[in-house]
Every structure is written in structure tokens, then in C-alpha cells.
Amino acid sequence: MRSPPASTEFGSAPDYYAQSSSRSFVERVQVPLLLLSAADDPFIPAQCIPRPTNRSVTLEISAEGGHLGFVEGPPWRPRFYAERRALEFLAQRVDQG
């Protein structure tokens, strides 16, 4: 894996994103990986998410979820989509052997 930059200072926003992005690692993943994002994420719009070509990577973009939210249901009984979806993804992989 790539080491973090020696300095915590970045020259610009694009420099920060280039150095902090997981993009360069995703294509090298060799185990099943689920990437979840939301089309309504205010920080990372769906059109900015690179589409992985790695067959080990599954990208799912839900219509809603905000930025890391993925909360479903009423406030008094919330359900957490990301956690549920991660368990489903893992169960599918276990069932496949």
C-alpha cells in the first residue's frame, strides 16, 4: 500500500483528493469488495464516482442515503441500510463458497 504523504498540507483541493482517494487501490483489490454510495450525496455526487473495472468490486449507488447516512425508516425505529447491505453481501459470498 502507498504510504501517506510526509506532509499533512495539500497544495489544492484537487491535490488533496488525488492523494487521499482510494481510487488507485480499488483496481488492485483481490477479495470481494462492496462500495456503497448515494446519488444524493452532497459531497461526492454519483457522476464523480469512478466505475471500477475490477471484477472483485461491486459498486452500488442508491437513490438516497446522503453522505454516509443510509438511514431508513421512521426516527423512532431507524434501520441502517449500509450495515444491512454489507451483511447481505457477505452472506452471498459465503453461500457461493
Q: What is the pLDDT of residues 20-48, one digit of tens each?
A: 888 778 889 999 999 998 888 888 888 88
- Residue 9 is predicted with a pLDDT of 84
- Residue 57 is predicted with a pLDDT of 93
Between residues 29 and 6, the one the model is more confident about: 29
| In the chain, where the domains are located | 30-95
Which among 62, 66, 19 has a CA at the least distance from the CA of 40? 66
Q: What is the pLDDT of residues 57-80, one digit of tens each?
A: 999 998 888 877 778 888 899 888
Which among 70, 87, 21, 80 has a CA at the least distance from the CA of 48? 21
Between residues 1 and 37, the one the model is more confident about: 37
**pTM of the predicted model as reported, rounded to 2 decimal places:** 0.71
